[in-house]
A and B are shown apart, each in its own frame.
Chain A
Amino acid sequence: MSVATSAGATGYRPSRTLPIWAEVRRQASRRRTQLALGFMAALPLIILIAFEFDSGGDDDGNGGGAFGSLVDLATSGGLNFTLFCLAVSAGFLLVVVVALFCGDTVASEASWGSLRYLLAVPVPRARLLAVKLIVALAYSAVALALLTAVGLIAGTLRYGWHPLGSTVAAEIAPGAGLLRVLGIAGYLAVTMLIVAGLAFLLGVLTDAPLGAVGGAVMIWILSSILDQITALGSIRYLLPTHFSDAWQGLLSTPAQSDDLVKGAISAVAYATLCWGIAFWRFTRKDVTS
């Protein structure tokens, strides 16, 4: 390292550039970060208030399958309420939030023109990407954790601490149920790695933050649509969203983890591939923004 310091200015060390905490503060001061995190914290409260308007009438009893039962059971306890919050967010909201954190982080610096000044510091390119990725993932995790924690607290205060119920299996005791809900949140975090990978890659390839975030969400939706077409057969196993509902296996007793494992393989493989391409590309490309 002595060689490295001698080449640079006094006090400069590549490994000290863009400290994680500096990047955390860079992002924290942004309105979109505050809004996204605030919304994740507010969502359970909004849902809670919406349930208060429930007149007791049941106008759509055919919710269908495990999910329909989640709606019916949502007010049966804090755990079920949290589960409901997670289930309604998993399909779209979480995807958008994760895509926002991961797709926007590099692309927005490029669009502001501040990316080239960071690179001229110089922050080594791989380090820049790594720090940005870690912080974006951390914010995504915080968003998910906020949703879960606020859901648990608000739901438990309002509906009480009761076993986790579902129609696919018998009720699960509150202690074990908490573990299941945390496990579901954990699995959602794993599947969101795919979104994180896609959005981050697009964010590196384009200078337009909207393109990166929107692109990742569009790919996710396209994949969800294709996954509905059973005629595609085994190709569907390759779709990034194919295992996104596998968390429902955790509602079963005992918990079914085979699909979770496959989903985790799919997520880790996609994320690694995307991040690998992102690093490979970013460390070689001409930064023209």
Chain B
Amino acid sequence: MSWTSRLPRPTRGRILAGSAVLLLVAGLVGWAVWPERDAWTTQDEMITVVTGPERNENVTLDARLYLPRDRDGKVPAVLLAHGFGGTKESVASDAESLAERGYAVLAYTAQGFGRSGGQIHLDSPDYEVRGAQGLLDWLAARPEIRTDAAGDPRVGVVGGSYGGALALMLAGQDQRVDAIVPSITWNDLTTVFLPQSADTSATGVFKKGWAGVFFGNGGAVPSEGAVAPPTGINVDPACGRFAADVCKAYLDVATSGSPDQSTIDLLRRSSPAATVGQIKAPTLLVQGAVDTLFPLSEADANARSIAATGTPVRVAWFAGGHDGGVGPQSDQDRVKFLTAQWLDHYVKGEGDAPSDSFTYSRVAGFSALDRGLVTNGYSTDSYPGLAGTGSTRLELQGPAQPIANPPNGNPGAISSLPGTGGRLSELLSGVAADIPGQFARFETQPVSTAIDVVGSPTVRLRAASPTGEATLFVKLYDVDESGAATLSAGLVAPVRLTDLPGSIDEAQERTIRLPAIVRRIEAGHTVRVVVATTDQAFLSPVQPATYTVQVASNLELPTAVGTPIANPQTVWRYVLAGLLAAIVIGLVVVLLVRRRRQRGRQTPTVPEHAETPLVVSGLRKAYADGFVAVEEISFTVQRGQVVGLLGPNGAGKTTTLRVLMGLTMPTAGEALVFGHKLVPGSPVLSRVGALVEGPGFLPHLTGLENLKAYWKATGRPEADAHFDEALEIAGLGDSVHRRTKKYSHGMRQRLAIAQAMLGLPELLVLDEPTDGLDPPQIAEMRRVLKRYATDGRAVLVSSHLLAEVEQTCTHAVVVNKGRIVASGPVEDIVGESPSVQLEVSDVPAAERVLDELGVRSVLPDGPSGLIVDMNGTPRSEVVASLVRAGVAVDRVVPRRRLEDAFLALVGENSRGSGDR
């Protein structure tokens, strides 16, 4: 057999199915890789603006203008500012999504970064802000940009961090700005880098970790591969591209830990705090809850100052920030939506005015698939500030404790990892580590109900110090039942107290405002307040000292009850429920339809054959590949008959029997068993016992177990099986207790016949039953089958052996090439045939003699044989004539009809119909 013929033939159905699958795959792949046509165009520009306190310094800014491709007239603009250390490229995706919404977007690299000229003045009103004003002028002059008045473009300013402060300061300095969306940014750099959480006027604690990262980002001499600054700019290795005054201020404060007045002035100048009260542009403030650089309190200060003037302000918190990154997808989507809604209304003039509701999100867990956090969003009707809408008071316990400050604050406790960015999962389990001897612990009892903390908790602290000063870090831990403590977002409250007494008894209570957090403290958890002397993110005093600290028992936790924002993911639950419901309904419908159909099918279709075991009429089977196994076969098996289906291999016998067993669907014609039309699974098949195409047993079971397992599958009462009779027929003796995989071919065959006879079916169908049996067993089998057909039962036997049919059957049906060539009672067909087989010494001479005798036909049969149709001439006369003519006759064999019929088909061409 060649390999090609083993491949499935290409039928129409296969070709169709194959093409459909190919199309589907091609479509999916195509859809995935098809390059999308951008909905915007870009052009890069080098824009020169005038900056400086004297307005005499030209700075060239590297900018890119995104214009919507399909714009209708003039479009509103968005000025997009990047974060510290970035360039116009780092805001490209934001720019693209805004351009898709129909805005002209001007993204630019701030001065001192990337290809832009100038130095970093840290969002100075004279430099960066003035430069941005120059960009507004440039926008107003563009023909594509909508303007409110000559030189006044319709523009919103969007930016994060460094760019966010620029947005605030530009809006405070230039009334042409129509709306701003500053995110994760500061209000006052002095409180950012010198935070003080106690209610005292003492200068705060230098946030050295972040300051170093901040300074390093902008100050570093451009490394290999980075964009080189424009030529002509002198890069000082100590200061990088920072302006001299900024650089000096950093070096000053980083060295001493306490700033001088000029440094404080510089930081104040670079802060929106000074001008934020003049902002008239509606402001959407987005701040991250996982941000130790610009904590939520910075946005709170901005919000309060802007709102005081009556300018619309909206606040949104998300679970990200300078430590937490962009946050989970649900938060990104929410921020994106709020930004678009804000700009659409206040800049483009579309859509209803956004409500001033406050939205925030709380970490709900960990996503296994994208390895990120999952948050739930909540909203309240208005911004509650950091004090929440309510508060819960817990009682802290713990005595006054001495704690040591090591020299230079080393080793130091760890609370956050400034500048590593986005390690959210680590923040979940907490990187916090306190150093023994350096911290005091105050803890509550387990809380009875869960507390939704939203805002800044407050505690009251007393401290004593031999030096009169103390630098302390107050932290709030959520401690679960197993004792695992989590420092929410790694946020700590740095405190620098001065004028302290040497004894704790004389110390005054100070109110400590802890960083604002969003956290649910579950029932059963405790809250722990830790006062530590060191933190690696902050600068601690150089001199060692031992303080005594005592936290008062009252811990105020601000709370808020937000309305959950519908999680779009919940829709999948309904999809799942709907899918399951659809499957159940579909299953029920299919079952009902099937039951109804079966009811219609089970009535006897031909009542007059109700007593006839088998009527086959006009049966035809053509396979899908065009091969016709059975052309047309019709015959009948009556009660009491043993019918032999005789034919060469491939004549179509087995196919016919397969149809009778409901294994194969006929192409045309039908088979009736006791008047019931046979279809696969017809109940009437239970009255038929069968052996088709060899035995089929479970190899791991014994012969007896196989018979029992088979009978179990019929679901009929065990008493009806007649195992003893069947086993007797099988005649396997003790071998029935051996596994069938050890059986010989003949043993299996006998067991299969016994299985077919289980329950003594009224019609027994056996395909080549004597295959593999030895002669005595064959003889026994003939006897069994003959006896079986008494009592109104019937047997249909197929065979390719003439002798077997002749000796076993009462009736015979001879099949060849899918058609019946002879049928009837065996006696009729086996009766004397009009032809004889002669073996003669001289064939040509004999043929001449026979021709003269007037016989019907003479066929050669081997070298010395002839088959002669006598046409009524007596055999004696033929022999006499031959002898008379001198032809010696060796043998005269009378032939029988069945043999004639069979050999007429097979003799002339011994190839079966299977080879047609």
A residues engaging B (CB < 8 A)? 3-5, 7-14, 16-19, 22, 25-26, 29-31, 65-66, 112-126, 163, 167-171, 173, 232-235, 238, 243, 245-249, 251-256, 258-259, 261-262, 264-265, 268-269, 272, 283-284, 286-288
Binds A, one of B117-125, B175-183, B709-717, B789-797: B709-717
* A171 close to B366 (CB less than 8 A): no
Min Cβ gap B590→A in Å is: 9
Min Cβ gap A11→B in Å is: 4
* B368 close to A247 (CB less than 8 A): yes
Q: A17-B715, A117-B690, A235-B32 are in contact. Are A173 and B367 (CB under 8 A)?
A: no
* B579 close to A19 (CB less than 8 A): no
Q: Which 6 A-B pairs have the closest CB atoms?
A: A113-B696, A248-B368, A252-B365, A16-B715, A8-B683, A12-B686
Q: Report the bound CA distance from A116 to B765 in whole Å.
A: 13
11 pairs, A vs B, C-beta closer than 8 Å: A5-B683, A7-B602, A7-B604, A7-B682, A26-B698, A119-B661, A168-B429, A169-B366, A169-B428, A251-B368, A252-B365
B 693-707 to A, binary, CB cutoff 8 A, 1 in contact else 0:
111111111000100
B 518-551 to A, binary, CB cutoff 8 A, 1 in contact else 0:
0000000000000000000000000000000000
Q: For chain B residues 357-374, which have a beta carbon within 8 Å of chain A?
A: 364-369, 371, 374
Q: Report the bound CA distance from A234 to B484 in whole Å.
A: 38
Min Cβ gap B591→A in Å is: 9
Q: For chain B residues 591-612, which have a beta carbon within 8 Å of chain A?
A: 594, 598-599, 602-604
Q: A16-B715, A262-B572 are in contact. Are A116 and B696 (CB under 8 A)?
A: yes
Q: For chain B residues 791-846, which have a beta carbon within 8 Å of chain A?
A: none
* B429 close to A167 (CB less than 8 A): yes
Q: A7-B683, A9-B687, A125-B681 are in contact. Are A115 and B365 (CB under 8 A)?
A: no
* B720 close to A120 (CB less than 8 A): no
Q: For chain B residues 406-437, which have a beta carbon within 8 Å of chain A?
A: 425, 428-429
B755 to chain A: which residues have CB within 8 Å?
A: 117
* B365 close to A268 (CB less than 8 A): no
Q: Report the bound CA distance from A25 to B583 in whole Å.
A: 29
* A122 close to B604 (CB less than 8 A): no
Max count, chain B CB within 10 A of own CB: residue among A16, A113, A120: A120
B364 to chain A: which residues have CB within 8 Å?
A: 252, 254, 256
Q: A120-B662, A120-B692 are in contact. Are A8 and B368 (CB under 8 A)?
A: no
Q: Report the bound CA distance from A110 to B680 in whole Å.
A: 16
Min Cβ gap A170→B in Å is: 5
Min Cβ gap B158→A in Å is: 28
* B696 close to A252 (CB less than 8 A): no
Whether, in the assembled complex, B264 has its beta carbon less than 8 Å from a beta carbon of chain A, the answer is: no
B residues engaging A (CB < 8 A)? 28-29, 32, 364-369, 371, 374, 425, 428-429, 480-482, 484, 486, 567, 569-570, 572-573, 575-576, 579-580, 583, 594, 598-599, 602-604, 623, 658, 661-665, 676, 680-688, 690, 692-701, 705, 709-710, 712-717, 720, 755, 759, 761-762
Number of inter-chain CB pairs below 8 Å: 221
B687 to chain A: which residues have CB within 8 Å?
A: 8-9
* A261 close to B683 (CB less than 8 A): no
* A249 close to B366 (CB less than 8 A): yes
A12 to chain B: which residues have CB within 8 Å?
A: 683, 686, 714-716
Give the residue of B365, B658, B662, B715 whose beta carbon is less than 8 angstroms from that of A169: B365
Q: Report the bound CA distance from A19 to B366 in whole Å.
A: 46
Q: Report the bound CA distance from A124 to B366 in whole Å.
A: 49
Min Cβ gap B377→A in Å is: 13
* A113 close to B365 (CB less than 8 A): no
Q: Which residue on chain A has the smallest CB distance to residue B573? A: A261
* A168 close to B366 (CB less than 8 A): yes
Q: Report the bound CA distance from A120 to B689 in whole Å.
A: 8
A122 to chain B: which residues have CB within 8 Å?
A: 662, 680-683, 685-686
A261 to chain B: which residues have CB within 8 Å?
A: 569, 572-573, 575-576
Q: A261-B573, A265-B572 are in contact. Are A272 and B583 (CB under 8 A)?
A: yes
Q: A29-B700, A168-B428 are in contact. Are A66 and B368 (CB under 8 A)?
A: yes
Give the residue of B29, B680, B694, B762 whose beta carbon is less than 8 angstroms from that of A119: B680
A258 to chain B: which residues have CB within 8 Å?
A: 367, 374, 567, 569-570, 572
* A114 close to B697 (CB less than 8 A): yes
Q: Which residue on chain A has the smallest CB distance to residue B681? A: A124
Given contacts A25-B709, A117-B696, A121-B714, 14 further A-B contacts (CB under 8 A): A7-B684, A8-B685, A8-B687, A9-B759, A10-B720, A12-B714, A30-B700, A112-B699, A119-B661, A119-B681, A233-B32, A252-B366, A268-B580, A286-B663
* B715 close to A18 (CB less than 8 A): yes
Give the residue of A112, A163, A245 whose beta carbon is less than 8 angstroms from that of B697: A112
Give the residue of B683, B693, B701 whose beta carbon is less than 8 angstroms from that of A4: B683
Give the residue of B482, B579, B580, B676 whose beta carbon is less than 8 angstroms from that of A7: B676
B658 to chain A: which residues have CB within 8 Å?
A: 286-288
Q: A29-B700, A170-B486 are in contact. Are A8 and B32 (CB under 8 A)?
A: no
Q: Which residue on chain A has the smallest CB distance to residue B429? A: A167
* B681 close to A31 (CB less than 8 A): no
Q: Report the bound CA distance from A226 to B448 in whole Å.
A: 49
A65 to chain B: which residues have CB within 8 Å?
A: 371
* B579 close to A245 (CB less than 8 A): no
Q: Report the bound CA distance from A120 to B368 in whole Å.
A: 50
Min Cβ gap B413→A in Å is: 21
Max count, chain A CB within 10 A of own CB: residue among B28, B366, B569, B693: B366
Q: A7-B604, A124-B681, A286-B664 are in contact. Are A19 and B715 (CB under 8 A)?
A: yes
Q: A115-B696, A126-B594, A169-B428 are in contact. Are A11 and B681 (CB under 8 A)?
A: no
Q: Which residue on chain B has the smallest CB distance to residue A268? A: B579
B374 to chain A: which residues have CB within 8 Å?
A: 249, 252, 256, 258
* B716 close to A11 (CB less than 8 A): yes
* B366 close to A125 (CB less than 8 A): no
Min Cβ gap A28→B in Å is: 11
Q: Which residue on chain B has the smallest CB distance to residue A284? A: B665
Q: A7-B684, A268-B576 are in contact. Are A235 and B484 (CB under 8 A)?
A: no
